[in-house]
């Protein structure tokens, strides 16, 4: 079998150009963010005063710092590129959720300027100067991830909100209707308590878990349902407990904007 010279290149070059264009587009978005917050003073954030989506964005920032530090240490530069791509997506979601904390955005922009400096030095030095810095970003110490801000339940909550919106979209498309109101239902509170116990006993089997759960008298009325619930949860994998009702309450305004109608708890 023979391959004509240049055949592979005919396909490769357009793909490569599209990737380069995407990188350029993302870098431009990051530069626009830097311009937007250049005059915002960098101040400490009061975590307790942050909104849920602020806390989520802060979680993603510190999680990215941690992964980027590990990636640079092992010369996995591609991973840093993937993280940057995720940052742009996170920024888009943050704003879609109504996030607009300028102090947080300034922190994100400055931190990511330090993260990107080894792979995009010229752009980062320009942004560093834009921030009014008199030093070189290349001489700055690498950001340090703070574990107290990393909370995977925040990420799970946002994923749950996204999946809820996608589920509603599918229902609307299949039913071919324009919703006038939306009712959202969540699982009974006792089921979350069962999941919490399972999280505390991850090393236990189904057979071992059921007696532990049934020690609580409140669960005895659900004696017939619990074995199946435990088996089902074990099959799909035990995840940290999130308060779905609180997640939907916080995301209510977004769902109403997306579908142009009121949202009610079912």
pLDDT in tens, 19-28: 888 889 999 9
Q: Are residues 143 and 217 in the same domain?
A: no
**Which stretch of 50-64, 76-90, 221-235 has the lowest confidence by average pLDDT?**
221-235
Q: In this structure, is residue 2 part of a structural domain?
A: no
Q: Give the model's confidence band at 2: pLDDT under 50 very low, under 70 low, under 90 confident, else very high.
A: very low
Q: Are residues 233 and 120 in the same domain?
A: no
SS3 172: helix
Domain of 59, CATH number, reads 1.10.730.10
Q: Are residues 160 and 87 in the same domain?
A: no
The answer to whether the beta carbons of residues 139 and 125 sit under 8 Å apart is no
Q: Are residues 103 and 169 in the same domain?
A: no
Rounded Cα gap, residues 247 and 228, in angstroms? 26
Q: Are residues 139 and 208 in the same domain?
A: no
Q: Are residues 182 and 91 in the same domain?
A: no
Q: Are residues 208 and 80 in the same domain?
A: no
- Residue 229 is encoded by which pair of tokens? 């619930």
Domain tally, the chain: 2
pLDDT in tens, 77-102: 999 999 999 999 999 999 999 999 99
* pLDDT beyond 90 at 49: yes
Q: In this structure, is residue 1 part of a structural domain?
A: no
Return the pLDDT at 11: 67
Cβ burial of 134 (10 Å; 0-12, 13-18, 19+) is exposed
Q: Are residues 114 and 22 in the same domain?
A: yes
Q: Are residues 112 and 162 in the same domain?
A: no
| Domain stop point among 135, 150, 165 | 150
Return the pLDDT at 167: 97
* pLDDT beyond 60 at 37: yes
* pLDDT beyond 70 at 4: no
pLDDT higher for 219 or 27? 27
Q: At what angle do helices 189-200 and 206-214 cross, to 10 degrees?
A: 120
| Domain stop point among 120, 150, 180 | 150
pLDDT in tens, 166-209: 999 999 999 999 999 999 999 888 898 999 999 999 889 999 99
Return the pLDDT at 1: 42
Q: In this structure, is residue 49 part of a structural domain?
A: yes
The answer to whether the beta carbons of residues 83 and 69 sit under 8 Å apart is no
Domain of 228?
154-265
- Residue 233 is encoded by which pair of tokens? 């949860």
Return the pLDDT at 259: 97
40-45-50-55 Cα dihedral, nearest 10 degrees: 100
pLDDT in tens, 242-259: 989 999 999 999 999 999
| Domain stop point among 116, 150, 184 | 150
Q: Are residues 121 and 201 in the same domain?
A: no
Q: In this structure, is residue 168 part of a structural domain?
A: yes
pLDDT in tens, 112-137: 999 999 999 999 999 999 999 999 99
Q: Give the model's confidence band at 10: pLDDT under 50 very low, under 70 low, under 90 confident, else very high.
A: low
Q: Are residues 138 and 12 in the same domain?
A: yes
Q: What is the mean pLDDT of the chain?
A: 93
pLDDT in tens, 102-111: 999 999 999 9
Q: Are residues 75 and 195 in the same domain?
A: no
């Amino acid at each position: 079998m023979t391959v004509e010279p240049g055949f592979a290149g005919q396909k490769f070059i357009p793909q490569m150009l599209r990737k380069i264009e995407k990188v350029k587009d993302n870098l431009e978005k990051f530069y626009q963010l830097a311009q937007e917050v250049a005059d915002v003073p960098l101040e400490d954030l009061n975590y307790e005063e942050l909104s849920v989506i602020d806390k989520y964005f802060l979680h993603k920032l510190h999680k990215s710092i941690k992964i980027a530090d590990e990636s640079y240490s092992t010369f996995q530069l591609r991973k840093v590129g993937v993280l940057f791509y995720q940052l742009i997506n996170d920024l888009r979601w943050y704003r879609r959720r109504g996030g607009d904390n300028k102090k947080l955005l300034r922190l994100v922009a400055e931190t990511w300027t330090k993260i990107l400096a080894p792979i995009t030095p010229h752009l980062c030095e320009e942004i560093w100067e834009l921030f009014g810095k008199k030093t070189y970003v290349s001489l700055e110490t690498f950001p340090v991830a703070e574990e107290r801000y990393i909370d995977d339940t925040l990420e799970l909550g946002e994923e749950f909100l996204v999946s809820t919106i996608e589920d509603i979209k599918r229902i609307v498309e299949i039913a071919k209707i324009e919703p006038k109101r939306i009712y959202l239902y969540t699982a009974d509170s006792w089921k979350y308590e069962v999941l919490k116990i399972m999280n505390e006993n991850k090393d236990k089997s189904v057979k071992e878990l059921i007696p532990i759960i049934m020690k609580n008298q409140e669960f005895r009325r659900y004696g017939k349902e619990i074995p199946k619930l435990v088996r089902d949860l074990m099959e799909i994998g035990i995840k940290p407990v999130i308060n779905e009702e609180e997640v939907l309450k916080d995301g209510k305004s977004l769902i109403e904007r997306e579908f142009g109608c009121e949202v009610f708890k079912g």
